[in-house]
Homo-oligomer: A and B are copies of this chain.
Amino acid sequence: MPQDIYEKIMMLAKRRGFIYPSFEIYGGVAGFYDYGPLGAQLKNNIENLWRHYFVLKDKCVEINTPTITLYEVLKASGHVDEFTDLTVDCKKCKQSYKVEDIIDKDTSVEEAVKKNKIKCPVCGAVLKNAYPVNLMFSTKIGIGNSRDAFLRPETAQGIFTDFHLLYRYAREKLPLGVVQIGRGYRNEVSPRQGIIRLREFSMAEAEVFFDPENKVHPEFDKVKNKELYLFDNKKEMKISLEKAVKNRVINNQALAYYMYLTQEFLLSAGVDPKKFRFRKHAADELAHYATECWDAELFSERFGWIECVGIADRSAYDLSSHIEATETDMYALRKYDKPKTVEIKKIIPKMDKLGPLFKNKAGEIKKLLEKMEVKNGDRISVRIDGKSVVIPEDCYEIKVVKEKQVGEKFVPHVIEPSFGIDRILYCILEHNYVETRKKDEEYRLLKLHPFIAPIKVGVFPLVNDEKLIKIAKEIDDTLRNSDVITYYDEGGTIGRRYARMDEIGTPFCITVDYDTLNDKKVTIRYRDTTKQIRVKIEKISKNVLESIRNS
């Protein structure tokens, strides 16, 4: 049976050291993969290229927070209640399934549940009583008085819970972009798509905080004429950023700018432009925190269009949730041109009424009331022990006072480009995998961009002669000393050694031959053109570093 491209790539990946199934010697578990020597380098390089775009170019700051996350954080963020998959059990087969995975593609989950259209994929029994399953891995911190915690479903919450500190770091200026690269976790019910659906994955997320009245990016004008590939669930279009925002295809400049930056990153990482598009989420697809979302989708012959990046407008959802849960001042300040004297309504609590009514909580309520600012004629309530308590009108007075203010407070909005590194890595392998024939044999190449190729240079002595070996090893050391990852190889014919390097995507090979002993030059051979040039040994490092940077 002919293999499909996924099988071919995963076989090459295992054979050559890109990707191994985790815990294979213990039978393995779906949803976990290891990156071998080449895969880990490829992943590092993709992440560093991402940093080049988001940290260096876009000037976001990077932070790094724990993967273990307190229950309270994820309760406030909505993940405890909303981060679920509808699941059914087959009692006969003793298996659980995610409803979405086992229904017809044309049927919605709601319809399938309502009309009893869920069947066991193994025994065919009609499955009922679908129930939501939370997808977070849970654990406990400490023993005895332990605290509930989860493995983070996204790196984003670590950024949101530090917002007030980060805003101070940025000297209270917006927009403020904050990124995090690290592990995310999703305890899938029964993952069945190999490396595309992982239970532990690597993500790179940017949370960019904006003034909601000013969702514009300072660099927008420089790129407004660039074009995006969009798919609005009906037709595909190529449209300039400016036009997309003007025509309300994309809601605001900030969102459009980060879609553009995402496109730049993906294309420069080696994604095939013909297998790339942005698709807009339909209203019923949106995550619980999003008001608008565009996915960057990459096409795979096996899986079809794969969501690899989500660029969401999370509005003020997360910061508001954490402010509400903790009463921390996580507001930003919109400065007035000059200070204003404004009238504000303050609450004057009456302890003689509060005391009898709220007993030992009265003091706490008094403090909360004094901190409040009354926005309108609504009834007044405070949060006590996690519950909202309405305060009867006779327990307070409202007094109008004048205050000098330098600006007004607001909750920033967030644009979030969120990247699934593992899926991008797989798609880059698929898009750059080339099969051809050489001397009547199958010949495989990975045309990886030099910046992301795991090994940059193969270094070979032409034959097994101590004199050539010595020079080759010196060149190898020199390159490694310039932080260039090399592969030194003295085994087999030169053709065989080139083939090994081509198959793992090494862009350059350097051969030391007998002429080298006289002219101090070596041959550099280029993977994609197979062209060869002679270069002075002393210029190799510079030549290679420039080739990586400029290609």
Contacts and interface: CB of A to CB of B under 8 A. Distances in A.
B63 A37 contact: yes
Interface stretch (A165-173, A285-293, A363-371, A376-384): A165-173
B144 A95 contact: yes
A481 interface: yes
A69 to B, nearest CB: 8
A303 interface: no
Contact of A151 (B87, B139, B485): B139
Nearest to A191: B142
A332 B491 CA distance: 20
15 contacts: A22-B65, A29-B70, A31-B141, A36-B165, A40-B61, A56-B480, A66-B200, A67-B200, A68-B151, A68-B185, A68-B199, A68-B200, A87-B143, A94-B144, A139-B151
A94 B70 CA distance: 21
A328 B37 CA distance: 21
A43 interface: yes
A34 B491 contact: no
A36 B96 contact: no
A20 interface: yes
Nearest to A146: B187
Interface in A109-151: 133, 137-145, 147, 151
Nearest to A94: B145
B141 A29 contact: yes
Nearest to A137: B139
B485 A56 contact: yes
A485 B55 contact: yes
A318 to B, nearest CB: 12
B26 A326 contact: yes
**What are the 5 closest A-B residue pairs judged by CB atoms, nearest first?**
A37-B61, A35-B64, A17-B169, A40-B64, A34-B65
A478 to B, nearest CB: 11
Nearest to A169: B17
Nearest to A85: B143
Contacts of A29: 70, 141, 147
Nearest to A164: B25
A95 to B, nearest CB: 7
A299 B330 CA distance: 38
A417 interface: no
Given A17-B61, A37-B166, 17 more contacts: A14-B165, A17-B165, A26-B161, A29-B147, A34-B63, A34-B65, A37-B169, A67-B67, A67-B200, A68-B185, A94-B144, A95-B144, A137-B140, A141-B199, A142-B188, A142-B189, A151-B151
A56 B481 contact: yes
A190 B349 CA distance: 42
Nearest to A18: B169
Contact of A36 (B26, B35, B169): B169
Most buried by B among A190, A330, A491: A190
B183 A70 contact: no
Interface in A30-47: 31-37, 39-41, 43-44
A142 B491 CA distance: 45
A330 B73 CA distance: 44
Contacts of A443: none
Contacts of A164: 25
Nearest to A147: B29
A68 B480 contact: no
A133 B146 CA distance: 13
Contacts of A137: 68, 139-141
B89 A63 contact: no
A24 to B, nearest CB: 8
A129 B106 CA distance: 62
B143 A22 contact: no
Interface in A258-279: none
A138 B141 contact: no
Contacts of A166: 17, 36-37
Contacts of A483: 52, 56
Nearest to A17: B169
Interface string A333-353: 000000000000000000000
A59 B26 contact: no
A57 B200 CA distance: 31
B34 A158 contact: yes
Nearest to A60: B37
Given A40-B63, A200-B66, A190 B25 contact: no
A65 to B, nearest CB: 4
B26 A39 contact: no
A491 B65 CA distance: 30
A415 B499 CA distance: 34
Given A25-B161, A63-B37, A161-B25, A32 B68 contact: yes
